[in-house]
Amino acid sequence: MSEIPRRIERIAFVASQTREAEAARARLIQRYGAVDEDAADVIVALGGDGLMLQTLHRFRDQGVPIYGMHRGSVGFLMNTFREDDLRERIAAASHVVIHPLMMEAVDAHGERFSAPAINEVSLLRQTYQAAKLRISIDGKVRLEELICDGMLVATPAGSTAYNLSAHGPIMPLGTALLALTPISPFRPRRWRGALIPDRATIHVTVLEADKRPVSAVADHQEVRDIVEVSARLDNTSSIDMLFDPDHGLDERILREQFIY
């Protein structure tokens, strides 16, 4: 994180489709004015983490920073909502650059799909049958067969989301690692996941795919009936996020590790 000078005259506002978020957007536009998103110096997102993820995907690689304020359910990625001094808060905010994972999936018909993920790439069983997965890292098989409900490949930014709920490790920002976390593993019973260098490519083959169908999800983009999927960090792509200095993402991730 670092503070950078920025122009904050031209603000665009996006909001989730809730009464609270839409009302906040209307009040802020009346107070600060607004421009179209393609002319903005900064995007202010009003909602919860779901809205923030959608906004980050939408403006990925466009060079415009995103400043979120919490007007939704979960607000881990959001700053505290306050209507006063918005331009001053944005000008003083700390800057975080996030690189997404790139998911490449192949379905049972041989069709290929690509999608970026800011939080995680997840593989999930589609029926009552447990999934059977083979895991390779950089072309070498590391786990011949994992029987489970699914598994995750999580970034440090996403390590406190689904990954944490699945008992995966929390990783501070800047950690050059990805978390490989099983969801309800049955065999090997003692395997609880791994930390992988973020330069590695994780490849997963679905075993018995006809009998045990599996879907792959990059944040909120899902592909059904996959037979294989790979995930790697895409350092050529980036998203800029802004956080109030006293409540930055580093601080939130650190604080989350001391909640019990």
Q: What is the SS3 string spanning 211-229?
A: CCCEEEEECCEEECCEEEE
pLDDT tens-digit series, residues 40-91 = 999 999 999 899 999 999 999 998 999 999 998 777 889 999 999 999 999 9
For residues 30 and 119, state if they share a domain. no
pLDDT at 114: 96
Catalytic residues: 49
Asked whether 95 and 42 are in contact (CB, 8 A), the reply is no
Do 83 and 123 have their domain in common? no
List 241's β-bridge partners, or say none. Answer: 66, 96
pLDDT in tens, 241-253: 999 987 667 777 7
Task: For residues 94 and 105, state if they share a domain.
Answer: no
Point out which residues pair with 45 in neighbouring strands.
14, 68
> What's the domain range around 210?
101-233
Residues 94 and 122 in one domain: no
- Whether 47 and 170 share a structural domain: no
| Peptide bond before residue 5 is cis, with ω within 30 degrees of 0 | no
Helical (H) or strand (E) element with 89 = helix 86-92
* Residue 5 pLDDT class (50, 70, 90 cuts): very low
76 and 158 assigned to the same domain: no
Band (pLDDT 50/70/90 cuts) for residue 260 is low
What is the structure's pLDDT at 104?
Answer: 98
pLDDT at residue 76, rounded to an integer: 80
Question: What average pLDDT does range 132-149 have in this prediction?
Answer: 97
- In this prediction, residue 2 has a pLDDT band, given cuts at 50, 70 and 90, of very low
Q: Are 135 and 204 in contact (CB under 8 A)?
A: yes
143 and 89 housed in the same domain? no
Residue 242's CB is within 10 A of a number of other CB atoms, namely 24
